[in-house]
């Protein structure tokens, strides 16, 4: 195939040089979609949908990596999304008795799910197991489902100051008034549930419902910052780091009381216009713990590889072989690399409609030299996006990638 426009060649050259600066076949995480497209569910693992393509649904994995995914069951919406904070290597706070926040959050979340379900609400948990999951993935799940309420369950660490009452803290979005009302109701119910226990509590000045900001107007918590259109709140029922409070949280009836309190708050939020209470002014706290990134997150294999076969005529195959050799790649890597370059080119081009007018016809995929490439679910995203852009099938996209690479190699 030929590229008729010099501008396209220039753009692709820029794109390829950027791709070359990444490691081979590394992918760029696209911004999460703002359209609610639902999620795919498989064995309790949630895959929010980013985009539909002819090759399949592009979703993100628990580690927030895009893959092409054709398994699972579609869930389009739910009433409530519950997020058990932390997971995997991120323990959160740890009690002197060995109770780990990561596990306690999940125990309480599962109880809240049971309570809400018994009242007829549909509920989804961002995780149902001890799964490492970055904040961005938790909020992608909420955004994909647009629930009536999104509550992240935590148990605090750090406070030392003695208090006669539990140090319950609930955080809300700085500007979303419904988020604020949800937080006020959560504070009211959780505080009420704990205050009758006789425990040497600890607290801080943030006891109540407020917004923690990294700078004026900007929520410090990604859970809130990434979900501006959803009533969201983070509940820190008490201080797990305080040994007597950790002891209290070991008791099943206490876990259940907390879950019932959270459930009542959510139910009141959805069915009444109660304002909640315990509000405190927002405050700026630039010092954050910095957990919740995707660093070190390792996904299980969630989808099979896809084998894409293409044929080349003798001339094409000779050029392909020598160009790949010149680039120090196998012909399989070379074809893949070309498709990733095209995908990146499309990303760079996404704001410029003039280039989209260029007519590019599908390459012929027949010939007597056959080459097959195994595409992982992650690398299929490039195949799917380029195919969707040009209306090409996967074999045609693969050949287009090869043709691009042969052309670029000839420029040197
Ligand atoms: Zn936490």
The 10s digit of each residue's pLDDT in 237-273 is: 999 999 999 999 999 999 999 999 999 999 999 999 9
Q: CA-CA distance, 153 to 135, in Å (whole number)? A: 13
Q: How confident is the model at residue 114 (pLDDT cuts 50, 70, 90)?
A: very high
Instruction: Pull the structure tokens for residue 185.
Output: 């109701």
**Percent of the chain scoring above 70 in pLDDT:** 88
Query: Cβ of 138: how many Cβ atoms within 10 Å?
Result: 28
Residue 67 CA to ligand 1 center (angstroms) comes to: 28
The Cα 220–Cα 286 span in angstroms is 8
Element (H, E) at 308: strand 306-312
Work out the mean pLDDT of the chain and round it to a whole number: 90
Distance 155 CA to ligand 1 centre (A): 6
Residue 126: CB atoms within 10 Å? 26
Contact present, 330 and 324 (Cβ < 8 Å): yes
- Beta bridge pairs of residue 233: 151, 172
Ligand 1 geometric centre to CA of 186 (Å):
16
pLDDT at 26: 40
The pLDDT tens digits of the residues spanning 349-385 come to 765 554 555 667 899 999 999 999 999 999 999 999 9
| 21, 9 contact by CB (below 8 A) | no
| Cα–Cα distance for residue pair 195/205, rounded to 1 Å | 17
Half-sphere exposure of 16 (CA within 13 A, CB side): 22
Closest CA to 81 of 169, 162, 15, 141: 141
CA of 234 relative to ligand 1 center, distance in Å: 9
The percentage of the chain sitting over the pLDDT mark of 90, rounded to a whole number, equals: 81
pTM metric for this prediction: 0.88
Distance 129 CA to ligand 1 centre (A): 16
| SS3 (DSSP) at 60 | strand
Q: What is the pLDDT of residues 280-295, one digit of tens each?
A: 999 998 776 667 888 8
Counting Cβ atoms within 10 Å, is residue 299 exposed (0-12), middle (13-18) or buried (19+)? middle
Could you give the angle at which helices 331-349 and 380-390 cross, rounded to 10 degrees? 60
pLDDT classification of 98: cutoffs 50, 70, 90: very high
Q: How far is the CA of 84 from the centre of ligand 1 (A)?
A: 9
- Give domain limits for the chain: 6-29+304-411, 73-284
**Where is 67: in which H helix or E strand?**
strand 66-69
d(C-alpha 76, C-alpha 48), whole Å: 10
Ligand 1 centre to CA of 370 (Å) is 54
- The rounded Å distance from CA 149 to ligand 1 centre is 19
pLDDT above 80 for 331: yes
Three-state secondary-structure class, residue 297: coil
Residue 142: predicted pLDDT: 98
Q: For residue 235, report the distance from its CA to the centre of ligand 1, in Å.
A: 9
What CA–CA distance (Å, rounded) separates 142 from 227?
Answer: 7
Q: 3-state DSSP helix/strand/coil percent for the chain, to nearest 5?
A: 40, 20, 40
Question: Could you tell me the two tokens for 410?
Answer: 């000839």
Cα–ligand 1 centroid distance for 114 (angstroms): 22
- Cβ neighbours of 24 (radius 10 Å): 11
- With a cut of 80, say whether residue 12 has pLDDT above it: no
The Å distance, Cα 103 to ligand 1 centre, comes to 11
Question: pLDDT at position 3, please?
Answer: 40
The distance from CA 289 to its chain's CA centroid, rounded to whole angstroms, is 19
Pair type for strands 80-84 and 123-125? parallel
Tell me the C-alpha distance between 84 and 381, whole Å.
29
Dist CA 403 CA 13 (whole Å):
13
Cα(331) to centroid(ligand 1), Å: 48
What is the CATH number that goes with domain 73-284? 3.40.630.40
Instruction: Quote the ligand 1 centre to 220 CA distance (angstroms).
Output: 14
């Amino acid at each position: 195939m030929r590229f008729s426009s010099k501008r396209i060649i220039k753009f692709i050259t820029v794109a390829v040089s950027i791709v070359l600066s990444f490691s081979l076949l590394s992918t760029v995480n696209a911004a999460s979609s703002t359209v609610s497209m639902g999620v795919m569910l498989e064995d309790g693992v949630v895959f929010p949908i980013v985009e539909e393509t002819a090759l399949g649904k592009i979703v993100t994995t628990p580690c927030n990596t895009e893959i092409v995914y054709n398994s699972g069951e579609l869930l389009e919406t739910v009433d409530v999304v519950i997020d058990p904070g932390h997971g995997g290597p991120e323990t959160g706070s740890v009690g002197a008795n060995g109770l780990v926040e990561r596990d306690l959050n999940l125990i309480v979340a599962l109880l809240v799910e049971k309570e809400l379900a018994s009242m007829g609400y549909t509920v989804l948990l961002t995780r149902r197991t001890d799964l490492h999951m970055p904040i961005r993935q938790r909020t992608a799940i909420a955004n994909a489902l647009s629930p009536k309420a999104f509550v992240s369950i935590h148990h605090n660490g750090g406070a030392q100051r003695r208090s006669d009452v539990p140090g319950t803290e609930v955080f809300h979005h700085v500007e979303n008034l419904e988020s604020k009302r949800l937080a006020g109701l959560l504070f009211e119910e959780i505080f009420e549930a704990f205050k009758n226990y006789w425990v040497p509590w600890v607290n801080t000045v943030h006891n109540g419902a407020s917004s923690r900001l990294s700078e004026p107007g900007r929520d410090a918590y990604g859970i809130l910052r990434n979900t501006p259109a959803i009533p969201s709140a983070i509940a820190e029922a008490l201080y797990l780091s305080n040994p007597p409070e950790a002891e209290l949280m070991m008791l099943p009836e206490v876990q259940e009381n907390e879950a019932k309190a959270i459930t009542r708050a959510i139910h009141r939020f959805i069915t009444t216009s109660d304002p909640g209470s315990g509000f405190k002014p927002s405050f700026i706290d630039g010092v954050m713990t910095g957990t919740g990134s995707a660093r070190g997150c390792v996904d299980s294999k969630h989808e099979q590889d896809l084998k894409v076969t293409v044929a080349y005529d003798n001339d094409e195959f000779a050029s392909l072989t020598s160009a790949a050799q010149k680039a120090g790649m196998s012909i399989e890597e070379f074809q893949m690399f070309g498709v990733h370059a095209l995908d990146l080119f499309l990303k760079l081009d996404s704001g410029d409609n003039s280039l989209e007018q260029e007519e590019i016809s599908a390459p012929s995929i027949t010939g007597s030299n056959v080459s097959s490439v195994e595409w992982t679910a992650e690398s299929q995203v490039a195949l799917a996006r380029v195919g969707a852009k040009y209306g090409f099938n996967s074999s045609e996209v693969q050949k287009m990638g090869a043709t691009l690479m042969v052309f670029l190699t000839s420029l040197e």
